[in-house]
Structure 1
Amino acid sequence: MSDQGTTLDRDSGGPLSGIVVADFSRVLAGPYCTMLLADLGATVIKVEGPTGDDTRQWKPPQRDGESTYYLGVNRGKHGLQLDMKNPDDLQTAYRLIDTADVFIENYKPGGLEKFGLDEASVAQRWPRLVHASITGFGTQGGASLPGYDLLAQAVSGMMDLTGSADGPPQRMGVALFDVVTGLHAAVGILAALRERETSGQGQHLSLDLLSSALSGLANQTSGYVGAGNVPHRMGNEHPSLFPYGPFDTNDGQLVICVGNDAQFRVLAGELGRPELAEDPKFSTMPERNRHRSELRGIIEDVLRGRGSDAWFRQLREAGLPCSPILDVAGGVDFAHELGLEPVVYAGSDDDAVPGIKNPIGFSRTQVSYSKRPPGVDQDREAILDWLAQRADHGTGSPFEQTTAE
């Protein structure tokens, strides 16, 4: 796509430079996906309805009056507010999609049909467009279910798996399946763009929280569909590995992860109990799992002789996977200590917003954090001017051709 001289068209230097994304999504799954695409250089136009993205009101916490929930998943985007019940705004939506490579939305199933933006209408009007739809539970039996992450945690089995063995089910501390769905959406969009290079055709992508949740449960759902095993809450225990989890020391807990017999031999030696690795009850993973209660008692008897930090340093130097249990602040600080530089600033120096960096590192192209999350309708004039310029230069409607009647 050619440079028409506006900030929206400038070469970002990222691997997705030149890709235009019309982002009609809200809350977390869609915005997380499109933030990743913006980080990688795509031009993302965030379209909000008359009341704005719900997450703008999700406070606390807040930074200078703005919700950090909203700020955390919307950097790099250009903001435009549209009321699609207004004919002029609906035409603006069409003009935006005219110039886009990707159209992403998370409306309720059927919610866009009255605007001519349902799957069939989009495919006919914009046959080269990649159209991604995110729902909570699909478009058939679950079409009427609201797409909240907590509901997906509840019905997928995640809550039943989370918490103490003798306690009630627990939600996770983050809307994980929204994030997983956003990641799946980004992968699907990139795949569809790649396929379009050879076929010349766009396509519709459908994603839902429950399918992403069942996929994300990985070994737990695999154990059920492959072996009929219905897992149960085990607190911090792992169903297939031991020692694997937090263990008591004399001033707290230390997480130790033993994934094979060789690592267990190292642990036994560091604990001053090398004979444990030769004991038939503990020498193999299946036997350690069978005798985990006895082995836990032996390990914690030794660990209680010193503090967590001392054990962490010793076991880490021995090459054993282990870690202290930190709060979120400690986690960010630990990443700093490791040289991972987890915090980035989006925007110019005078209004930059801190956030967590995109975790993908490229050796040649770059990740961009040049634009802070937009305010409501912040970039209207620039976007409308950009759309007009693209139309004047013949690039405004690259996908207008429809199939023959």
Structure 2
Amino acid sequence: MLGNALDGLTVVDFTQIGAGPTCTMLMADMGARVIKIEAPAGELGRGLGPGWVGEDAALFHGFNRNKLGVSLDLKSPGGAAAARRLIAGADVVVESMRPGVMKRLGLGHEELRASKPALIYCSISAYGQTGPYADRAGVDGIMQADSGLMSLIGVEGAEPCKVQAPVVDVMTGYVAAMAVLAKLNQRARDGQGGYLDVNLLNSALVLQQSSITSYLADGEAPVRVGSAAPYSAPNQAFETRDGWVMIAAYMPDRWTRLCVALGIPDVATDPRFATSPLRVANRHAMVEVLTAALKTRTTDEWLAVLRAADILCSRVSTYEDMTRHPQVQSNGMLAQAEHPAHGMVRMPGFPVNSVEMNARPHRAAPACGQDTSRVLREAGFSEEDIAGLIRSKAAHCTSAELAQYQPA
């Protein structure tokens, strides 16, 4: 079971918002003990609403389940020393500070790996740790723009658009998790850790593998074509009487069956539409013909007809549709976690062996400093040490715990 695959692995997590937290959440889902280190005010992702669970953004809960929450002031000597002590007992560090920040805090990879050669240290940044843009910050939207991804999104002549879901962040998180797991496999053979440089720009580029490869082959800049695929047709959303249906029928046999199913069999042999490249070249004319037929019935009616003809199709679902989707429910992909103050929190689950993984209990994302005293205690700190860190504000705990650390 993947939920136990990383049992015994300890990860110290200095990340925030999307990319880094996705990486460490995946490892936590697979059984790693992930210690999330936050500043006293909490990480930036806690404030990125709307969509709230209590005072924290739902976004934060979507990226931070199954983690232990520790709050340290890394700018204080005591907080940085506590972090180093936690890392001494860890296997992996993942951080997403701007390049150079962790080094200035005394938590850079060279220093830490000098005393712990088996440590795997993963840095996640906007542009990478070296090069002319290394010192620049960046977030998902900036990277969608800078990587060329936004040049693909939307329709020709309209304002630039971005993918509303933070796809570059999430892709980067998966890339980072893959890199850490690969390094763990190598370490099992040679006992050595290593340094991993993962960045949003590279991840945004590999998201566009097919489009960039096409451009490099012929130098033709992509045209924004809305829901359509630039390399095949029909492969886009079409309007029906009451909504939209996505159709992929660019294969020769499916193109013919589509035309028959729509009641326009002669269109299949129209010279303008004889092949997928010709249909791409004559897309506007093709869309006009197909839409005229599709607008005569409802989406549900067409879905039944098209599926009977083995045409690849789907309604263009809203999120409400998605939550009721029979396969989403069958896959168990809407996972849930019990929050101690706010009840059940739902979110997308782990995508591999999803029924098995998401059936087991998840821990909700931690409150800021929720596990500070527990984690420090397990790392060998005495009660006096913990009280001293909290009183000096080098470490922070929840308000419920704070009273026990106040001077008598």
What TM-score do the two structures reach when normalised by structure 1?
Answer: 0.88
Rounded Cα–Cα distance in structure 2 between residues aligned with 1:31 and 1:365: 19
For the Cα contact (< 8 Å) 2:35–2:70, is it kept in 1? yes
Question: Which protein has the bigger helix share?
Answer: 2
Asked if residue 188 in structure 1 is aligned to residue 179 in structure 2, the reply is yes
Question: What do you get for the CA RMSD once the two structures are aligned?
Answer: 2.3
Rounded Cα–Cα distance in structure 1 between residues aligned with 2:127 and 2:165: 19
Q: Cα gap change, 1:387/1:367 in structure 2, threshold over 3 Å: closer, same or farther?
A: farther
Match of 1:90 in 2: 80
Asked if residue 370 in structure 1 is aligned to residue 362 in structure 2, the reply is yes
Which deviates further from its counterpart, 282-291 or 38-47? 282-291
SS at match of 1:388: coil
Match of 2:406 in 1: none
SS at match of 2:37: strand
Match of 2:37 in 1: 47
Which deviates further from its counterpart, 185-194 or 237-246? 237-246
Match of 1:227 in 2: 218
Match of 1:397 in 2: none
For the Cα contact (< 8 Å) 1:348–1:370, is it kept in 2? no
SS at match of 1:272: coil
Which of 109, 115, 123 pairs up with 1:133?
123
Asked if residue 29 in structure 1 is aligned to residue 40 in structure 2, the reply is no
Match of 1:271 in 2: 262
Structure 1 unmatched runs, 5+: 1-10, 390-405
Q: Cα gap change, 1:340/1:12 in structure 2, threshold over 3 Å: closer, same or farther?
A: closer
Asked if residue 384 in structure 1 is aligned to residue 376 in structure 2, the reply is yes
Match of 1:118 in 2: 108
> How far does residue 43 in structure 1 lie from its aligned partner after superposition?
0.6
Rounded Cα–Cα distance in structure 2 between residues aligned with 1:310 and 1:76: 43
Q: Cα gap change, 1:368/1:388 in structure 2, threshold over 3 Å: closer, same or farther?
A: farther
What TM-score do the two structures reach when normalised by structure 2?
Answer: 0.87
> How far does residue 110 in structure 1 lie from its aligned partner after superposition?
0.6
| Identity in percent | 32
Asked if residue 203 in structure 1 is aligned to residue 194 in structure 2, the reply is yes
Q: How many residues align?
A: 380
Paired letter, 2:7: S
Rounded Cα–Cα distance in structure 2 between residues aligned with 1:317 and 1:44: 48
Asked if residue 146 in structure 1 is aligned to residue 137 in structure 2, the reply is yes
Cα deviation, 1:182-235, whole Å, max 9, x if unaligned, reads: 110011111010111111101111011111111111111111223323212222
Rounded Cα–Cα distance in structure 1 between residues aligned with 2:266 and 2:120: 60
SS at match of 1:127: coil
Structure 2 unmatched runs, 5+: 382-408
Q: Cα gap change, 1:335/1:154 in structure 2, threshold over 3 Å: closer, same or farther?
A: farther
Which deviates further from its counterpart, 103-112 or 11-20? 11-20
SS at match of 1:46: strand
Rounded Cα–Cα distance in structure 2 between residues aligned with 1:295 and 1:61: 41
Paired letter, 1:209: L
Match of 1:295 in 2: 286
SS at match of 1:166: coil
Question: What pairs up with 1:242-257 in 2 under 5 angstroms?
Answer: 242-257=233-248
For the Cα contact (< 8 Å) 1:335–1:341, is it kept in 2? no
